[in-house]
Amino acid sequence: MNISAVRGFRDVLPQESAIWQELEAQARRYLTAYGFAEIILPVVEKTELFARAIGETTDIVEKEMYTFTDRDDASLTLRPEGTASVIRAYIEHSLFHKEPVSKLFYIGPMFRRERPQKGRYRQFHQIGAEILGRDDPLIDAELLLLLHDLFTALQLTITIEVNSLGCTLCRPRHRESLRTFGESRLAALCANCQARLQRNPLRILDCKEPGCRQATADAPMLTAFLCPACGEHFDRVQAYLRQEQVCFSVNPRLVRGLDYYCRTSFEVLAQGLGAQNAVCGGGRYDGLVAQLGGPAVPGIGFAIGVERLVMLLQSHERQHLLHPDLFIAPLDERAETYAFSVAHRLRQEGYYIELDSSRRGLKAQMRRADKLGARYVLILGEQELAVGKGTIRDMQAKTDHPLAVDLTLPAQKMMESIQLKNI
């Protein structure tokens, strides 16, 4: 019996990892442009951190965490998300003393024991960013602008949905009103919503069951309950976005899965992914740092789902794999030994060289060079080597020219004569 990967855990093969790298490079570029620095976090944390940060009554903490008892009886958990760890590190290293505002990003795997399906895995990856220390609307708008710029650079058509979840002043009134409303429609709600109605009534707004959707169509929305300060905050975030011509829509039903969100909340949706169409989620969490034992510092962040974005970029049918700068086709053993040194010389300087050691005929090697998309092929045979020469074939122009193969030349000079640049 062959051993396969664990259900919900997957391999990323080279065709896909090339897209992955491109996505990561673009993300790093824009994160840097907006002043974010990377934080590299552990994959395992004390279970208590997530219980306190995410909330005991959320799906993640109740049934999706990979929790285990270590050999010293400590309860540990594979991180289901990144924000809790960022804040744990922020408090642990007193980063708030060093800078008035911290802009941090992370990239890495997350673990949730969900039902695996298209775009939903048990190990998945997120690119996340957090801004700690500021609560003005400009910050919220900046974070959304960064997302807008990144998705535009990736040539993806997306929809940004925003909402305000209010604060501890406006939320309780809305919660009460929603609970009363839910109770009046109890029979029409799914079992899950009926159970949530007492603990976390907000969640009935984002239930995906058609029956619940219909029953809550005229439910009281938070936007109608916002206190003046939250209302103004939300207005200003939207004004900044309009000023920069960012397309977005207000979705008053948008609530986030995690308990700690307040004020600005958002989701980025993409078409072509089926039911799992959210490629990014985020929002403000002003009470969370204090809740985890730190100072009363406000925060906001997002997390992008890498797998879903890669799926989208794949469907664009772009050519992502790197092409060799040079493909070397040695025709016999002596030529191969020489080619080995030529390849080393050029690789040392960072050129991507494919060296064919199959000893197959020229035709077969050329077919392979073509498949890899090599622009130039260096053909080395006994006759040519005897006079210190090789033949360069320009695969695009379909022309040949001789090349003096001189190992004493610097790599750049060698590449230039291969590309006929110095002539």
Binding site for ligand ATP (CB under 6 A): 81, 112, 114, 119-121, 124, 126, 257, 276, 278-281, 303, 305, 307-308
Identify whether the C-beta of residue 189 lies closer than 8 Å to the C-beta of residue 65: no
Shortest distance in whole angstroms from residue 258 CB to ligand ATP: 7
Nearer to ligand ATP, 231 or 257 (CB): 257
Shortest distance in whole angstroms from residue 310 CB to ligand ATP: 10
Shortest distance in whole angstroms from residue 419 CB to ligand ATP: 42
Shortest distance in whole angstroms from residue 266 CB to ligand ATP: 10
Tell me, letter by letter, the H, E, C secondary structure of 248-291. CEECCCCCCCCCCCEEEEEEEEECCCCCCCEEEEEEECCCHHHH
DSSP 124-191: EEEEEEEEES--SHHHHHHHHHHHHHHHHHTT--EEEEEEE---TTTHHHHHHHHHHHHHHTGGGS-H
Nearer to ligand ATP, 140 or 307 (CB): 307
Q: Which residue is nearest to ligand ATP (CB)?
A: 305
Shortest distance in whole angstroms from residue 315 CB to ligand ATP: 16
Identify whether the C-beta of residue 313 lies closer than 8 Å to the C-beta of residue 19: yes
Nearer to ligand ATP, 257 or 381 (CB): 257
Nearer to ligand ATP, 114 or 209 (CB): 114
Nearer to ligand ATP, 109 or 381 (CB): 109
Identify whether the C-beta of residue 81 lies closer than 8 Å to the C-beta of residue 304: no
- Map residue 100 onto helix, strand or coil: coil
Rounded (10°) CA dihedral 283, 284, 290, 295: 120
Shortest distance in whole angstroms from residue 402 CB to ligand ATP: 54
Shortest distance in whole angstroms from residue 80 CB to ligand ATP: 8
The label of the residue with tokens 């896909």 reads 16
List the one residue out of 321, 237, 239 whose CA is nearest residue 283: 237
Nearer to ligand ATP, 299 or 305 (CB): 305
Nearer to ligand ATP, 63 or 421 (CB): 63
Alpha helices, DSSP H only, in 37-132? Answer: 47-54, 59, 83-92, 95-98
